[in-house]
Amino acid sequence: MTTPPSDVASRQSASSHADSKADLDLLAIDTIRTLAIDAVEKADSGHAGSPMAMAPVAFTLWKRFLRSDPADPLWPNRDRFVLSAGHGSMLLYALLHLAQVQRMDREGRPLGKPAVSLDDIKSFRQLDSVCAGHPEYGLTSGIETTTGPLGQGAGNSVGMAIAGRWLAARYNRPGHTLFDYDVYALCSDGDIMEGVASEAASIAGHLRLPNLCWIYDDNTVTIEGHTELAFDEDVAERFRGYGWSTLRVDDANDCEAVARALDTFKATTDRPTLIVVKSVIGYGSPNKQGTSKIHSDALGEEEVKLTKAAYGWPQDAQFLVPEGVSDLLAGAMRERGGKLRSNWQKGFEAYAGDHASEAQDLKTMWAGKLPEKWDADIPSFPADAKGIATREASGKVLNAIAPKYPWLMGGAADLAPSTKTNLTFEGAGDLEFRSYGGRNMHFGIREHGMGAIANGMAVSKMRPYTATFLIFSDYMRPPIRLAALMEVPTVFVFTHDSIGLGQDGPTHQPIEQLAGLRAIPGMHLFRPADANETAESWRAILSQTEKPAILVLTRQALPTLDRNRYAPASGVARGAYVLAGDPGETPQVILMATGSEVTLAVEAFERLTKEGVKARVVSMPSWDLFEEQDKGYRDAVLPPSVTARVAVEAAASLGWDRYTGHVGEIIAMHSFGASAPIGPVMKRFGFTADHVYEAARRQIEGVSGDSPSRVDNRPTASTRGGAEQ
């Protein structure tokens, strides 16, 4: 690549046709296109086709409609723009550059430099660039959410729109309209095909969200070729079935038609809007079938020149921004968005004078902080041999916290009665059409869409939670992963956490899910052992405002441990702690467990202690939180010198060897479960106090050299047809 020309002649050549307002707009559109071409070509990676095709649509939206101030891209009542087609990221980077959006720090303070400079665009897809391969929330100011996995951004946009309606219902007052923003999402064929977008669109239609507009780039091209290979449905008809208003623009280059469609969206007050825009993909190199392949393809030098010539662009110019183009978009947005933000700020100051408590709530929420005394009413549960299910305890704790935490809200995928996540206090209410201020959400049986919507709420500074059975976490892995990637504090509640759920059988009994979820970086997973550990898990989860969390709970009742006899549940805050046994004494054997299996370890501990064995029980509700502790603490809980160890968990064994070492014993699942009442199922797979005790004895004897130190505890019979009776 040669360096881009900076001489006046090149700039004049590019702007020679810009004698009118329309011509200057076209010059700006072509600047977006050529910046995308040059960035992809220099990186030899990325997608220029979508930015080239949709540049007129995006430019029209940003210049004439988007209510956003480049000087403050975090203004609370700004319109949101989501590039769900995240593979076309250069479209967004070019817009941010031309709009002169300012870079902000994590606290929302301006840093005095652009969010995306021309040098940033030149380093597209390079290490440490703010112009990453796909847009990343928190990396680049002006990016509302991380997109790339198709459909996720569309789902997030529904969450943003719900947040806008909820904020308006809760905080707007007569004479004070704080929230009336709109949400726009630019979607590709791939987004529209993905099931998560369909789930989210169905919810949006049910809620009749009038502040939501999806712009569908109907270019009929995907990686394998023409969409007719796998997709020929009438998308507009489908969305009409969801309850959306649908509009059509026959040519993406017709900016006036795009503007008319956006005007119609603005005038629609009773449902979301889908605008189907017909475009021709910007470029592609023919494959053997004669269709276009556009996956990570640079055009090549000759095609670049031909394309630029078609735009009337200097063929050898690279990363050229003609004079007046940047000021055109930035000026229009400052003129509209700057005035709106200034007026809004004055209005908020007046609002704070009239509604001080509500204004303080909003300031606290925007700052990502917790309300005062939010945890003051978290209950403490008395010792009880019969106990309660941790899902029951969780529901009690959630309802003790939520009244003091106004923007904590959420719901379940049609399972609130089972997950115990309904908010039952006075004034909680249901979030529905015409009652957007409710705090109980009903997602229907749409786990994937639920997760994506919750993340959209989280980037809107709400504190959302979702709930379903642990086995169905498989349906929502992408939004769980993206929550961790974005560092947003979405809470994912999963109940029915093991084979202990019983007669629903192996289709509903999770095995490998805990291991898979623990593998996600930047995620705290908690599996509490009793009601008090559940309470402390909620305290730990909500105290962390920049990280998502997973809470895994039982269907069955668990004994509430006597905390006068055993260590306090506050140890949950460090991920793992010595629950039973003298912390100052070196034990002969360590029994480790999470969740419902901690009780088994405690029962085995009591039997060993009576026999004079120096045993220790370590409850490990959160491995990842434990790993964040200093080495001194970790070694105090699990002394390296003690190699006689038993781990117990009714799930896959993967990962436990980090704590048992290769001579310890792991009592875990090595197959799928079985359909039967809880007692026989747990016994079949070795989850009994007797089995834990026997494993501990083997470990002690193994250390002394009297017997093998490790025994294969896998079931001897198949759990499918022909199992032992």
Specify the pLDDT at position 285: 38
Report the pLDDT value the prediction gives residue 282, as an integer from 0 to 100.
56
For residue 115, count other CB atoms closer than 10 A to its CB.
22
Q: How far apart are CA 575 and CA 452, in angstroms?
A: 27
Domains with residue ranges and CATH for the chain = 43-296+330-341 (3.40.50.970), 384-558 (3.40.50.970), 576-704 (3.40.50.920)
Tens digits of residue pLDDT in 518-555:
999 999 999 999 999 999 999 999 999 999 999 999 99
pLDDT digits (tens, 9 = 90+) for 275-309: 999 998 755 433 333 333 334 456 788 889 999 99
The structure's pTM equals 0.93
* pLDDT < 70 stretches in the chain: 1-19, 223-224, 282-298, 704-725
Contacts of 286 (CB under 8 A, 6+ apart): 292
Give bridge partners of residue 495 from the DSSP assignment.
469
Give me the pLDDT at residue 139, please.
Answer: 96
CA–CA separation, 66 and 692 (whole Å): 63
Q: Is the separation of the CB atoms in 547 and 487 below 8 Å?
A: yes
Whether 588 and 564 have beta carbons less than 8 Å apart is answered as: no
* pLDDT value of residue 714: 54
Q: To which residue do tokens 């026989």 refer?
A: 680
Q: Nearest to residue 15, comparing CAs of 4, 23, 7?
A: 23
Phi, psi of 197 (to 5 degrees): -65, -40
Distance, CA of 549 to chain centre: 11
Check residue 683 and give its pLDDT.
96
Name the nearest CA neighbour of 217 among 193, 252, 244: 252
Between the alpha carbon of residue 279 and those of residues 48, 85, 221, 250, 251, the distances in Å are 14, 14, 10, 8, 6
Compute the C-alpha angle 481/485/491, nearest 5°.
60
Query: Which is catalytic among the residues 447, 603, 649, 694?
Result: 447
β-strand partners of 669: 652
Residue 108 CA: distances (Å) to CA of 83, 142, 343, 416: 22, 11, 19, 36
From the CA atom positions of the chain, what is the Rg in Å? 29
Q: How many CB atoms lie within 10 A of CB 709?
A: 21
**426 an active-site residue?**
no
- Bridge pairing between strands 292-293 and 285-286: antiparallel
User: What residue has token string 């747990």?
Assistant: 682
Tens digit of each residue's pLDDT (9 = 90 or more) over 317-375 = 999 999 999 899 999 999 999 999 999 999 999 999 999 999 999 999 999 999 999 99
Q: Residue 287: its pLDDT value, please?
A: 35
Q: Are 464 and 458 within 8 A, CB to CB? A: yes
